[in-house]
Structure 1
Amino acid sequence: MKTMLSCLIGLILPLLAAAQEPQAMARTSIKQQGEIWMGQKVTMVVELLAPGFFAGNASFDLPRVSGVLIVPPVGSPLVSSEESGGVSYTVQRHELMLFAQAEGEVTVPACEIRIEFKRSPLDKETVKQAVKTQQLSFKAMRPPGTSAGQTIITSTDLKMEETWKPEPGANAKLGAAFVRTLKWTASDVTGMAFPPFRPAPVQGLGIYRAEPVVEDSEERGSLHGERRDTVTYVCKAGGRFEIPPLTMTWWDPEKKELKKIVFKAHAFEVPVPPPPPVTLRVWLKRVWREHGTQLVAGAVGVLFLLLALRVFGARVTGFLKRLLPRHLPSLNP
């Protein structure tokens, strides 16, 4: 009995000691002040406090929020230290990016972050712990002049470029291809936030979309996003074609102005090739394609008639002979 009690005490005491030791914590806040617009980058600051020294990278279990694009931290965290309640903490500052795609109140629920740390630099074993962020809310406003369901990009220096290789109409002929590339670039916007380019269908042109290229780069804490969409138009028929114009809108939060980028339409003609010469083989194929059923039916009818004449020809001939007028000899010579 004493042995079992000693074992239980030996198991409980380390647990109680661990529970009394300082634990890791997380602090959460929104960096932005003032108005927040749809499509604008909102910085969510997450500070992780470890009572010791971090070992390894933090792992975020980001929540899914309808109408909000959440981008995990980019680059290395900012590391500092602070003391609270007589305990020395190492602090990692992470910045997450939020992009609201709908207007109204946005609530980001608490999420779990898994970390590892050592209480002393010379410790061989690490302490694994999961901490939770706090729930945050902010309000996103819709820029004036935009409609519900419209994708909004908010930036102060957005650029959009269009390039063609070659220009539509140059040496246009059957099978000719024109490659169109659209490139978005902007500061404080991730490439994932740019809307995909969906070309309008054009009768007689084959339209083929390549996989988009999305890239993000960070320099001195500033995010720069880029997206490239490539579409190939192939002339599959002759005639006159028009690739419609393209209009893109975006919101400048500093000037509070809705700006537009317009790319012109492209009209061109593809010569209609002359019809190929009609050969006997082509003519026979065309006749067969258009009148094949009638020809088969006629041939079957002729064969049936010839067969009937062969089988019943003698009887028919005898019957017809009996129907012919006969000259009888005179009764009174």
Structure 2
Amino acid sequence: MVRHSKIFTFLILTLLSVQAYALNIDAKLSTSKVTQGDTVKLTVTIDNTADGKEPDFSVLNQHFEVLSTYKAERSNISNGRFQSFTSWVLTLLPKHTGYIAVPPITFEGVSSKPMKLHVTKRSNANSNDQYLFVDAKIDKQTVFVQEQLIYTVRIFRSNVDIYDPSYQPPTIDNVAMEQLGEQRNYKTTLNGMEYDVFEFRYALFPQKSGTIKIPSAQLNATVFRGRSRGFTFDPFNGKQVRRYSPELEFEAKPKPDSYPADKPWLPAKSLQLTESWSPDSGKTNIGEPITRTVTMQAEGVLSTILPALPSTDLQGVKIYPEQADTSSAPSDQGMVSTRTESQALIATQTGTINLPAIDITWWDVDAEEVKVTTLPARTIQVAGTSSRPQTDITAASPELSQTAEAPPLSLAQSGSVNRTWQWIAIAFFGLWLVTAAALIWILATRKANQTTNQSKPDNKPTYSDALLKDAKKQLQSACKSNDAKQARTALINLFKQHHQNDGVRNLQDVEEVAETEALRASIRELDAVLYRGESSKQWNSDMLLKAVESALSKPVTKQQKQVLAPLYPQ
């Protein structure tokens, strides 16, 4: 009986021991309520080592966008027992508003408890707690097809610092979109708060009629709210955020019935025609070319729809048109487009050339009516003989061809004139040979000098092994002295040298070209020291050096990053 009791007690203790060491998983959110466009941190922790595995996070993709994942491991001794913990910290961006269920996270068959997150809608500029938002507007609700519409996007920032912003304008179906100049930066006040405003303006040209929807413009950034501003609670500090502008729509009407069917559709705010002549005397001679240049300038249209000038067929005139030149340029009122056409005119008979007027039909979008811009008609007087052009001989002795009693030109005189022209031709041919020889010698000498200059080495290379080694030494020295600022500068310079890429300008660029999780973790730790005011003593510089060595051992791949440098300069 005693023996059975001992066996039973042993089994009970064994079962309790197994239960005591069973895997536990815990998940928690950094907050239970967020505003649309803000991120939330999800921390998943197990009381054991992960051994290279991770929980199934794919269940989050239905309601969240996972922006980043960070893994951390720690160990401690509690009541004489050695314990290990592994945590995953995920940055989540909700995909929609309302109450969102965070499903259980499973690891090795063990699941966490489900949770609930409340995502509220964000109001633009209607609340006093809007520190960063994006607004958009259009100048018209109804336009004709291919008529210009001005679309303006404005980013408002107040009392926050922005790190590594990325702005993306919308992509609009069936609409041609042109940016109007560079971004504008200014300050304004809304609801008693002062904002820095970054404005982008675009000219939109709908290519088909109907209702056109403008999707949201998007801003991605990491937001820091400075501690020196007097905030006791700092939920924005170091938070990744995404902001959207409101979605808009407008109506594009088809070409009006009142517009002439045989004329190309041209909706514009204004249209002008100008011309210039070379030479501009109103007179010419037979065989002498004159050049006519006509410029069409229209406001509020693209150059691609400016029509060609009507063709002209004139008797007694040969016309040689040149290739048309078109261009567009932004202005305060939108796009201004020009089309320039030049023609060479050569008269073949004397008299008066009557050039007809040039009419261009267009639609005035402000007055909403058909208009015609006219270039007036012009006349040109042509002088000279219609049989053959005058020569030096006939010009000097007109009576030879007009007086019947004049003696005919003798063979001896004709031979003398021909010999004179022969000697002149020989002299000009000799001068041409001398000029050609001199030109060939100059070109050969210049080519030899260029070859010599190209063969000279550059004494100041941008990238070299020596500069790469020097950058490594600077990083090692900074890490040894726990100088976080110097380490940041050295790290950027090191990867710029290693990848031979001037586009590496900040730590985010280093993360992108390195593509290693270990280096990303070390850079985030370095960011904490630089931007969150943590003590340099807590910075693990050895981990940074190991991560850098690992990243440098990988093959170099060329990458480019689009940076919005003018928006928030470093």
Please say whether Structure 1 and Structure 2 have the same fold, judged by a TM-score greater than 0.5.
yes
Quick check: 1:77–1:94 contact (8 Å CA) kept in 2? no
Distance 1:99 1:91 in 2: 26
1:207 aligns to 2:321 (yes or no) = yes
- Amino acid paired to 1:171: T
Distance 1:12 1:197 in 2: 65
Distance 1:15 1:7 in 2: 14
Quick check: 2:361–2:371 contact (8 Å CA) kept in 1? yes
Structure with the greater alpha carbon radius of gyration: 1
| Structure 2 CA distance for partners of 1:114 and 1:239, relative to 1, 3 Å | farther
Q: What is the 5 A alignment of 1:225-244?
A: 225-235=336-346, 238-239=348-349, 243-244=355-356
Quick check: 1:168–1:178 contact (8 Å CA) kept in 2? no
- Alignment counterpart, residue 364 of structure 2, candidates 223, 228, 252: 252
- Amino acid paired to 1:44: Y
Render the CA deviation track for 1:166-223: whole Å, top value 9, x for unaligned.
358621432413131314154xx256476153452648321113533433333xxx44
Structure 1 length-normalised TM? 0.57
Count residues with an aligned counterpart: 264
Quick check: 2:355–2:378 contact (8 Å CA) kept in 1? yes
Quick check: 2:170–2:214 contact (8 Å CA) kept in 1? no
SS in 2 for 1:209: coil
- Alignment counterpart, residue 202 of structure 2, candidates 96, 107, 111: 96
Distance 2:225 2:288 in 1: 70
1:161 aligns to 2:274 (yes or no) = yes
1:31 aligns to 2:142 (yes or no) = no
1:264 aligns to 2:264 (yes or no) = no
Structure 2 length-normalised TM? 0.36
| Structure 2 CA distance for partners of 1:65 and 1:169, relative to 1, 3 Å | farther
Q: What is the 5 A alignment of 1:18-57?
A: 26-33=134-141, 35-48=142-155, 52-54=160-162
Distance 2:278 2:389 in 1: 30
Aligned-pair distance for 1:121?
5.9
Quick check: 2:181–2:330 contact (8 Å CA) kept in 1? no
Aligned-pair distance for 1:63?
3.1
Distance 1:94 1:120 in 2: 25
- Amino acid paired to 1:258: V
Distance 2:72 2:91 in 1: 13
| Structure 2 CA distance for partners of 1:169 and 1:158, relative to 1, 3 Å | closer
SS in 2 for 1:142: coil
Distance 1:32 1:17 in 2: 34
| Structure 2 CA distance for partners of 1:31 and 1:264, relative to 1, 3 Å | closer
- Alignment counterpart, residue 12 of structure 1, candidates 83, 88, 103: 88
Aligned twin of 2:224 = 119
Distance 1:192 1:121 in 2: 48
Aligned twin of 1:2 = 48
Taking only aligned residues, the RMSD between alpha carbons, in angstroms, comes to: 4.9
- Amino acid paired to 1:151: W
Aligned twin of 1:70 = 177
Distance 2:329 2:285 in 1: 34
| Structure 2 CA distance for partners of 1:113 and 1:105, relative to 1, 3 Å | same
Distance 1:17 1:36 in 2: 37
Distance 1:117 1:168 in 2: 67
Render the CA deviation track for 1:134-192: whole Å, top value 9, x for unaligned.
3623232534521467222332x543333333358621432413131314154xx2564
Quick check: 2:298–2:337 contact (8 Å CA) kept in 1? yes
Distance 1:89 1:13 in 2: 33
Runs of 5+ consecutive residues of structure 1 not aligned to the other structure: 278-333
Give the helix-richer structure, 1 or 2. 2
Distance 2:348 2:185 in 1: 59
Quick check: 2:303–2:327 contact (8 Å CA) kept in 1? no
SS in 1 for 2:88: helix
Aligned twin of 1:197 = 308
Aligned twin of 2:541 = none
Quick check: 2:255–2:265 contact (8 Å CA) kept in 1? no
SS in 1 for 2:143: coil
Identity over aligned pairs, percent: 13
Aligned-pair distance for 1:73?
4.2
- Amino acid paired to 1:105: G
